[in-house]
Amino acid sequence: MKKQMITNLKIVVTAATLLIATAIFAQPALAEVDLEAGRGLAYSCLGCHGIDGYRNAYPSYRVPKLGGQKAAYIVVALKGYRANTRQHPTMTGQASSLSDQDIENVAAYLASIGGDTVAAGGSKEVSFDKAQACTACHGNNGVSVNAMWPTLAGQHEDYLVRALTAYRDGTRTDPVMSVQAGLIAEDDVEVIAKYFASLEGLETTRPE
């Protein structure tokens, strides 16, 4: 059963990678990123993501750490909120006001600050077994193997639970995660979140 799940995941990942590559090459060329422009636009982002332990009001969970996250993934996330494949009133409002170039600038700036320990991974405090299938994309140490997939090491446990739940109930969609999350037993969601949260990695983003 486990081997079949891993095989299914590899098939889904391959298909998703082809879709992502097609989407990338179909995009019009953007100007080089402007970190100063990104700094100005990111001011409102840091009102939540720059405060250690800041919580979403309802449902209650800590907003994700961005320090050390990959710029390409932040772009994917912001475009997802703008396209409503991710649902969050505040994030949709923020992302909807940004152009593609704005998103690239914001992502580059946020990725440039914080997260000094993210490349190291680190020791884990909980069982690896339940999270094994996830490591095909997110790495054994929780550091993603593809710039467009999120690094999970050190992310808040309750945020990871929320994200997996959203993929499971369809309020967040993705060609890989929508399928993969459906293969995870409900009782295993918290175990997987605890595993990745226990690794050294992402940090709360702090303005320079």
The per-residue pLDDT for 120 is 64
pLDDT exceeds 70 at position 7: no
Lowest mean per-residue pLDDT among 56-60, 61-65, 121-125? 121-125
Q: Supply the pLDDT for residue 121.
A: 67
**For residue range 109-132, what is the model confidence (pLDDT) as tens digits?**
999 987 666 766 666 767 778 888
Q: Tokens at residue 92, please? A: 């949709």
Please compute the mean of the pLDDT values over residues 70-85 and round it to a whole number. Answer: 97
Return d(Cα 138, Cα 143) in angstroms, integer: 6
CA distances from 132 to 8, 73, 119, 163, 200 (A): 14, 21, 19, 18, 17
Q: What is the pLDDT of residue 14?
A: 46
Q: Give pLDDT, residue 11.
A: 47
How would residue 88 be classed by pLDDT, with cut points 50, 70 and 90? very high
Helix H, strand E, coil C: the string for the chain is CHHHHHHHHHHHHHHHHHHHHHHHHHCCCCCCCCHHHHHHHCCCCHHHHCCCCCEECCCCEECCCCECCCHHHHHHHHHHHHHCCECCHHHHHHHHCCCHHHHHHHHHHHHCCCCCCHHHCCCCCCCCHHHHHHHHHHCCCCCCCCCCCCCCCCCCHHHHHHHHHHHHHCCECCCCHHHHHHHCCHHHHHHHHHHHHCCCCCECCCCC
Of residues 84, 201, 86, the one with CA closest to residue 138: 201
Residue-wise pLDDT tens digits, 26-37: 455 677 999 999
pLDDT single digits (tens) 154-205: 999 999 999 999 999 999 999 999 999 999 999 999 999 999 999 989 999 8
Please report the domains of the chain, with CATH numbers, ordered by start residue: 2-27+34-197 (1.10.760.10)
- pLDDT higher than 70, residue 208: no
Residue position matching structure tokens 């889904």: 12
